[in-house]
Amino acid sequence: MKYEMRGFSRRRAIVALFATLLCGFVNRSASAQIDPLPSWNDGTAKKSITDFVARVTTQGDADFVPIEQRIATFDNDGTLWCEQPVYFQLAFAFDRVRAMAPQHPEWKTTQPFKALLDQNMQAFAAFREKGLLQIVAATHTGMTTDEFSNAVLGWTVGARHPRFNRPYTELVYQPMLELLAYLRANGFKTFIVSGGGIEFMRPWVEKIYGIPPEQVVGSSGIVKFQIDASGKPELMKLDKIEFVDDGPGKPVGINRFIGRRPIFAFGNSDGDLQMLQWTAAGPGARFAGIVHHTDALREYAYDRQSKIGKLDKAWAEAEQRNWTIVDMKRDWKTVFPEARPR
Amino acid sequence: MKYEMRGFSRRRAIVALFATLLCGFVNRSASAQIDPLPSWNDGTAKKSITDFVARVTTQGDADFVPIEQRIATFDNDGTLWCEQPVYFQLAFAFDRVRAMAPQHPEWKTTQPFKALLDQNMQAFAAFREKGLLQIVAATHTGMTTDEFSNAVLGWTVGARHPRFNRPYTELVYQPMLELLAYLRANGFKTFIVSGGGIEFMRPWVEKIYGIPPEQVVGSSGIVKFQIDASGKPELMKLDKIEFVDDGPGKPVGINRFIGRRPIFAFGNSDGDLQMLQWTAAGPGARFAGIVHHTDALREYAYDRQSKIGKLDKAWAEAEQRNWTIVDMKRDWKTVFPEARPR
């Protein structure tokens, strides 16, 4: 009995030892060989990222940053996912009008709903910003936060992008997914700081980006707490804008929601300029990056003249201050992830 | 050589095995013996907490909650730290008026500043809420967020509570510090949801409570992004209230900042009622707790009639719904932590 126990122990011990040695071996070769950013082509953009991360995470380096201060913020539209031919939240609003139309027979004869339901986008455009605000109000307010969240989730499953014929949530940038994971593996806390609606993003970003709802900063409408007729508390979305998280609103939103200045920020348009300025102006090592859409074949090509995602002032400042400019065509091996089997 | 290697391996293997077995043993006995809440007396309050945590963290239990949904929210004033004889943020504002007075000679003859500088609190009280707002505006706005943060930090080091003669940040409740740590050790993310100013709390809560700035929800004023004369971006605190995170504002603040409903919430006054209602009304296991200040000797005793931290409606609802009511005198072995050596 005693002998058997000892034999058993020895066998287990030897297995344990080999497992330990093997783990050590695999880890060492992994860190030496596995590229954390495989969808990035080698070049100055990729190198500026990995160099920065190495510097701020190396104990004893002059640029070392304690883990709790490793805050990274990312714009969403055009930085983490595609924003063409229209912001995806607008595509959601348009689809939602169609989905809600049976409950709103009056829309058949009321503008701007009629134009949208007739798919007459030229007529719809004539209503300009006011028309858009009416559509957003009709599709984003007058319901509880739970109801809205369910509507968004349903849309992410069912809707398809007109050009790529894929769910919108698959039109995220594979290189940026890798960058998010790489930063988190290096102790960074990753945040979204988007002009998009905070309640529109939160239902799906955790699954898609690995960013939890509490790390999402965005534009918002007023929400009201009330007790419904059955005594159940609910949060009702009202038709009143609360906060626009765009341009100078981005550092304000960062201060409000995060309460610390990021050391790393990525955007793609002039709406991100102030976030990048605020990030870059802090003490110590700082990273400011811009995605430049240069790839009409695999995605879209646009910058100074674009209505959506205009990149002009932020581009000039990036060049002047030596921020990292990612040239999508040159720097990204892949744009979108492989389609998921359906 | 071969023999030696094998001998070496065997020795290492045996050491590794014993280390493994020992770890298992220590862990098991640790979890059986170490009380995670040593400053809580045994009783229904303590038991309701540990029972809840056991249920939501046990795989296979009907009440199991995935780790990312383990959100716990805590009021601050009167729940995590003392709030008598005045909210500590008000004590800060009063001290700040005295500190800023040399730069404001006009305050010697201007009310309500004169009354405060003369320490004539009866005269000051005559200015009511308007007087308070003037003091808050003078001490909390017209400066950058960095300047305000430094002012708060300086105050936490220098100021002393009039009765206990200790820094205000030492007048936190030891049992609640243990509860925060216990929840975090069980996968919870802990948040502050306070009527107090978000910018007043953030500079010190990480060190005191282990709660990072991005997990603080509070009241706020409008902040503006601007570039100063030297070209440096800054965030200026304006004299305009943005959000009051109190009463029905608390579930709204939770929705805005966290974007998920807590499963665990603790408060101490009617200002926490809606947060507790919102938390308790979600599906699955829920914990709602109230600190009842019953200990005039070690802290303070107050509830229904108190101007600060009035506990009336929330108390009634807690009794009706069987929420956990902590009786400070009965349930807490210790109130404040040991004084730190100075």
At A13 the pLDDT is: 52
Q: Residue B218: CB partners within 8 Å, gap ≥ 6?
A: B76, B192, B193, B194, B195, B196, B197, B198, B199, B200, B201, B245, B253
- Asked if the Cβ–Cβ distance from B248 to A224 is below 8 Å, we say yes
Bridge partners of residue A234, in order along the sequence: A226
CA distance B85 to B161: 9
Contacts with B, A 195-214, CB within 8 Å: 198-199, 202, 206, 212-214
A286 interface with B at CB cutoff 8 Å: no
For B109, which DSSP code?
G
Partners of A232 on chain B (C-beta within 8 Å) are 281
pLDDT digits (tens, 9 = 90+) for B120-155: 999 999 999 999 999 999 999 999 999 999 999 999
Tens of pLDDT, residue by residue over A72-91, are 999 999 999 999 999 999 99
Q: Quick check: A16 contacting B, CB < 8 Å?
A: yes
Res B339: pLDDT: 82
Residue A189 with chain B: CB contacts under 8 Å: 214
Question: Which pLDDT tens digit goes with each residue over A39-50?
Answer: 999 999 999 999
B259 touching A (Cβ < 8 Å): yes
Q: Annotate B313-329 with b (16+ C-beta within 10 A) or e (fewer).
A: ebbebbeeeebbbbbbb
The answer to whether A192 and A201 are in contact (CB under 8 A) is: yes
Chain B touched by A12 (CB under 8 Å): yes
pLDDT digits (tens, 9 = 90+) for B263-309: 999 999 999 999 999 999 999 999 999 999 999 999 999 999 999 99
What's residue B15's pLDDT?
52
Per-residue pLDDT band at A33 (split at 50, 70, 90)? low
Kindly report, residue by residue over B187-207, the tens digit of the pLDDT: 999 999 999 999 999 999 999
Phi-psi label, residue B43: left if phi above 0, alpha if psi -120 to 50, beta otherwise: left
Report the pLDDT value the prediction gives residue B92, as an integer from 0 to 100.
97
For chain A, positions 103-142, list CB contacts with chain B under 8 A: none
**Beta carbons of B223 and A252 less than 8 Å apart:** yes
- Is the pLDDT confidence value at B76 over 50? yes
ipTM for the complex shown: 0.89
Q: Give the pLDDT confidence of A256-290 residue by residue, as tens digits.
A: 999 999 999 999 999 999 999 999 999 999 999 99
Q: Is the pLDDT of residue A225 over 80?
A: yes
* Residue A335 pLDDT grade (very low, low, confident, very high; cuts 50, 70, 90): very high
- A25 confidence band (pLDDT: 50, 70, 90): very low
Closest CA to A70 of A258, A324, A291, A245: A258
- From the list B10, B220, B255, which residue is nearest A145 (CB)? B255
CA-derived radius of gyration, chain B: 24
Round the average pLDDT of chain B to a whole number and report it: 92
Average pLDDT over residues B232-261: 97
Percent of chain A scored above 90 by pLDDT?
Answer: 88
**Orientation of helix B88-100 relative to helix B145-158, angle to 10°:** 100
The 3-state DSSP class for residue B177 equals helix
CB contact under 8 A, A252 and B235: yes
pLDDT attached to residue B23: 46
**Residue closest to B171 by CA, chosen among B86, B235, B80, B109:** B80
How does DSSP assign B236-257, residue by residue?
A: EEEEEEEE--STTHHHHHHHHH
What integer is the mean pLDDT of A161-176?
Answer: 98
What is the model's pLDDT at position A10?
A: 52
CB-based contact (8 Å) between A24 and chain B? Answer: no
Q: Determine the Cα–Cα distance for residues A298 and B26; give it in Å rounded to an integer.
A: 56
Share of chain A above pLDDT 70, in %: 90
Give residue B289's pLDDT: 98
